């Protein structure tokens, strides 16, 4: 059995984050030792790593909660999971597109920049004063 600090170390998150996950219902509240310390079964580490990896590919904690619920629900199908993943992909693609648009504008503007020119005649500032970005 593991103390919260052990789980934190092995899963690479902070002790505070673990208590936070418990409050949010992402990790089941473990049994307590006589002194009140949380006592985790070793598989808790796997659960926390699941959460961490899901976050790394863009799922919010509330998304993760749904995924964990699917995982636990008998009768849930792979398609249910794929739908969530596909939705997240579309979300990510939207963000990439937005960022790409920003980058394109900045590229176009800075390309016209002559470093030594005074700021009063800066193409970037001019663009911000006059252009439509949408």
The reply on whether position 61 binds a copy of itself by CB under 8 A is no
Window of 9-17, 88-96, 100-108, 116-124 that interacts with DNA by CB under 7 A: 9-17
Q: How far apart are CA 100 and CA 96, in angstroms?
A: 6
Spatial contact of 67 and 81, defined as CB atoms under 8 Å apart: yes
Shortest reach from residue 89's CB to DNA, in Å: 16
Q: Supply the angle between the helices 123-130 and 78-111 in degrees, to the nearest 10.
A: 120
The reply on whether position 68 binds DNA by CB under 7 A is no
Window of 8-16, 75-83, 94-102, 104-112 that interacts with DNA by CB under 7 A: 8-16
The reply on whether position 5 binds DNA by CB under 7 A is yes
Half-sphere exposure of 60 (CA within 13 A, CB side): 7
């Amino acid at each position: 059995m593991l103390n919260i600090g052990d789980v934190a170390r092995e899963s690479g998150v902070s002790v505070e984050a673990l208590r936070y996950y418990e409050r949010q219902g992402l990790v089941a509240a473990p049994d307590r030792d006589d002194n009140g310390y949380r006592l985790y079964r070793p598989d808790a580490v796997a659960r926390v790593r699941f959460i961490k990896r899901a976050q790394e590919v863009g799922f919010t904690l509330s998304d993760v909660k749904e995924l964990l619920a699917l995982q636990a629900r008998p009768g849930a199908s792979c398609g249910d999971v794929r739908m969530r993943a596909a939705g997240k992909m579309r979300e990510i693609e939207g963000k990439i597109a937005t960022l790409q648009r920003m980058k394109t504008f900045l590229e176009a503007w800075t390309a016209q920049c002559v470093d030594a020119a005074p700021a009063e005649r800066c193409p970037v500032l001019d663009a911000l004063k006059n252009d439509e970005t949408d």
